[in-house]
Structure 1
Amino acid sequence: MYYLSSKNKGWHITGVDVKEEQVKDCNEFFSRIKRQDRVQFQYGDLTKLSVEGGYDLVVSVDVMEHIEDDEGVLKNLYQTMNPGGMIIISTPSDQGGSDAHHHEAEHDDGVTGFIDEHVRDGYNLQEIIQKLKKAGFKDVDARYSYGWPGKISWKLSMKYPIVMLNATKVFFILLPFYYLITFPFSFVLNIMDVRGNHKKGTGLIVKAFK
């Protein structure tokens, strides 16, 4: 939301979350940085969302894997959009991106907090394409993310710091120096991951239009 609001001052942006404390915190943040006139967060359940048109862009990052009635949510999001509007979805794939039991058994390193609320073990590439088309979307483009560059970047920027913080809180002091060294590598790897076409990956990036 912060990134989008930085891209264009003419955009009016709405964030929706089922956790009221998150909504409150985000609204307070955007108020402090004087963007509250064009960025608003509100409490909402996507399975019950009822907004007739108005949005040109819908962005869903790591949301769909938490929702049982995903087809219902896609239909609701479709209804909120203007004709020609675009939806972008980032979600785990069925190649290990959301397999909590696998991660817990193999690693047992405290990173399962990212995936322990998931209701499905990731999406099959064709499955999410078909669900979007069923909801009415067209020109659906789905591709894998978190190929080998993204996996390495995730380990450097997310997994290893969490493992070390779980081992000792002293690492809080060392964390800025760790990122000073690793961030440039992670940044380049992320660019490679987003721009590359991977035959497989633990994530999916999907784009479609109304």
Structure 2
Amino acid sequence: MSRIAYDPVKDRFAQIIRRFRFLRTLFYKILDLFFLRSWYIRKILRQYGSHLDADGEWRLLDAGSGFGQYDRFILQEFDNVKVQALDVKKDYLEDSRAYFEREIKAGRITFHQEDLLELDYENIFDFVICVDVLEHIEEDEMVMENICRSLQGNGYFLMHSPSIYSEEDADGDESFVDEHARPGYSKRGIREKLKNSGFTVLDVAYTYGAKGHLAWELIIKYPMLWLNKIKLWALPIMAIYYIPILPLSLLLMALDIRDNNERGAGIYALAQKQ
């Protein structure tokens, strides 16, 4: 679930795809397909964003935009949204600016390099997403307070992070979790932090339950470990490996998102500004 093991691999792919728009589009589609957290995030965005879109123009903040995969989905899914994407990594933002050039010219998205601990907006956004970012920040409640302040009244905040059970993914490999500021969030813990930050909690649920966790091991964890060890020489082997594994993993993910997981390696929370 952590970024640690597969971020170097993703960075290598980013170097390859940054010159070709169609490869970056393919990269986005692979991220959406392979990462179960994206299934959850897109499902909730469709449910709540559609109501906002029906009322006319609205603003969304992507707090930790990374490669911009959710920005692409949001701009394609909603006609009336304007996105502000923030990240601390300059190279990620530069690549995204190049990819979203047409959307930038249309005034639909802007990109800013900014630390979420220094976020200083007030009553601007209707929706904020923060996907797999808070686990890296020690002062997470400060970030939540900043996000709450940036929202308009009744604005929504959607976050996803590893849960308290995510350390089980390491299986003795500390590289999966050693850069996190905390082991992960529990339902109770994230509820308390959100309430302390000025939110009313609407929903909290574990992701990557037993089925989703197995799918993640099959299509993400083990292939990325191979790539980290033997680099791109693993690609031909992986192509053969995915022929039977990918359909099975997608089925497991589809079942996971329908389950009410009692525990899972990930957790999402949807909250609303009080």
Q: What letter corresponds to residue 142 of structure 2 in structure 1?
A: G
Q: What letter corresponds to residue 191 of structure 1 in structure 2?
A: A
Q: Say yes or no: does 1:202 pair with 2:265.
A: yes
TM-superposed CA distance for 1:93, in Å, is 1.0
SS in 1 for 2:112: strand
In structure 2, what is the equivalent of residue 35 of structure 1?
A: 103
- What CA distance in whole angstroms lies between the structure 2 residues aligned with 1:29 and 1:145? 30
Which structure features the higher share of helix residues?
Answer: 2
In structure 2, what is the equivalent of residue 89 of structure 1?
A: 159
Q: Say yes or no: does 1:172 pair with 2:235.
A: yes
| RMSD of aligned alpha carbons | 2.0
Question: After TM superposition, which residue ranges in structure 1, 4 or more long, deviate above 6 angstroms?
Answer: none
Deviations along 1:62-96, one digit per CA (max 9) or x if unpaired, are 0110111111110100011111211111111111x
Deviations along 1:18-64, one digit per CA (max 9) or x if unpaired, are 11121111111111xx2223122211111110011221111111011
Q: Say yes or no: does 1:10 pair with 2:100.
A: no
Q: Say yes or no: does 1:153 pair with 2:215.
A: yes
> TM-score, normalized by length of structure 1?
0.86
Residue 120 of structure 2: which of 40, 50, 59 is its match? Answer: 50
Note closer, same or farther for the CA distance 1:180–1:11 as it changes in structure 2 (3 Å cut): farther
TM-superposed CA distance for 1:142, in Å, is 0.9
TM-superposed CA distance for 1:4, in Å, is 1.3
In structure 2, what is the equivalent of residue 144 of structure 1?
A: 206
SS in 2 for 1:170: helix
TM-superposed CA distance for 1:196, in Å, is 1.3
- What CA distance in whole angstroms lies between the structure 2 residues aligned with 1:147 and 1:54? 35
Note closer, same or farther for the CA distance 1:38–1:116 as it changes in structure 2 (3 Å cut): farther
TM-superposed CA distance for 1:164, in Å, is 2.5
Q: Which stretch shifts more, 163-172 or 146-155?
A: 163-172
TM-superposed CA distance for 1:139, in Å, is 3.5
Q: What letter corresponds to residue 195 of structure 1 in structure 2?
A: R
> TM-score, normalized by length of structure 2?
0.67
Q: Say yes or no: does 1:116 pair with 2:178.
A: yes
TM-superposed CA distance for 1:136, in Å, is 1.0
Q: What letter corresponds to residue 196 of structure 1 in structure 2?
A: D
- What CA distance in whole angstroms lies between the structure 1 residues aligned with 2:156 and 2:167? 25
* Aligned residues between the structures: 200
- What CA distance in whole angstroms lies between the structure 1 residues aligned with 2:127 and 2:254? 22
TM-superposed CA distance for 1:184, in Å, is 2.6
In structure 2, what is the equivalent of residue 62 of structure 1?
A: 132
SS in 1 for 2:213: helix
In structure 1, runs of 5+ residues without a counterpart are: none
